[in-house]
Amino acid sequence: MSREHDEAVMENLYWWGVPTLFRCEVGKAAEADIALVGVPHSTGNGTTERDQHLGPRSVRNMSAVQRRVHSRFQVDPWNSARIRDLGDVPFPRANDNEDCIERITEYYREVDQAGARPVSIGGDHSITGGIVQALGKGKLAGGEPVCFLHLDAHTDVFTKVDHFLGAKKSAAHWGAYLADDGLVDPKNSMQIGLRGHARTLDWLEPSYEYGYNVVTMVEYRERGAADVVHQIRKTLDGKPVYITFDLDCLDVTVAPGVANLEPGEGGFSMDEAIELVRSVRGMNIIGGDVVCLMPTKDHRNNITSLAAGSIMFEMISMIAENVAAD
């Protein structure tokens, strides 16, 4: 047998070879239709759960086994689009949240100008603010503000204080300051899966005040998936869609390795979450991210890292399908 044959046999074994996201070739944004990016940032959360910067490395390690064809869509994303692993955003001042957010924005402006649609793995949820500072009203969005499909246990529209334990553009603030800056359109954005026992009874008010379309977990259970999917498609139709997926929207039994567990109320199963992500299939998806992975809190079988890779795979497949159709 040839060396090429031997390597092809080994390629889907996560413990072999040099890890890249989904075994994709390392490259530059100019070479890609879809840019896979690691954002190893932890200082926007402000809690003691600071290991979210280890998320990209963990998914790179595990995602080799997830380089699959999409059986539901009948698409092979790896052959339908040019997909490259761009590596990680560099953070030489990693303990300075505000510097990190601006470095994320600078990095993604280059990705946006190259016309590559980014699918990112974090990192805490503050990275979404840095990314959308670049994509909002940018080239991929056609000069328009982006519209979120946001799955999360928490609103991240924090307005009560101007920082979270010192982080100003924090994991709790991005939903507000991006709207203030006109880079996201809340009235055509969805926040889904919000749940748990909040610290104050007015915790949803900022989202409502900004005009976000909120579907709490209680409302999701009452209305049913089909009705919520219908609302998503009606709200986001014709808009530049950005998917941001916080792993804590999943039930704690499904994704135990996350930064802010909400165990008091059941979260989404994987099937439920994937159905919601797939609701924007065929729409103008300009990018997405998966955030709040805590590999040091995960089970030994790395189930949360695998869940993160699974959600990324859905985003990649939908974008690749769009690329192939163009």
pTM check: above 0.75: yes
- Is the preceding omega at residue 123 within 30 degrees of 0, hence cis? yes
Whether the pLDDT of residue 19 is over 70: the answer is yes
The pLDDT value recorded for residue 120 is 98
- What pLDDT does residue 96 have? 93
Position 50 scores a pLDDT of 74
Say if residue 166's pLDDT is above 80. no
From the number of C-beta atoms within 10 Å of its C-beta (0-12, 13-18, 19+), residue 295 rates as buried
Taking only the tens place, the pLDDT of each residue in 40-78 is 999 888 665 779 999 999 999 999 999 999 999 999 999
Q: Which domains does the chain have, with CATH numbers?
A: 3-325 (3.40.800.10)
Q: Are strands 34-39 and 117-122 parallel, antiparallel or unpaired?
A: parallel
Where would I find the H helices in 158-279?
174-180, 205-210, 217-223, 225-236, 270-277
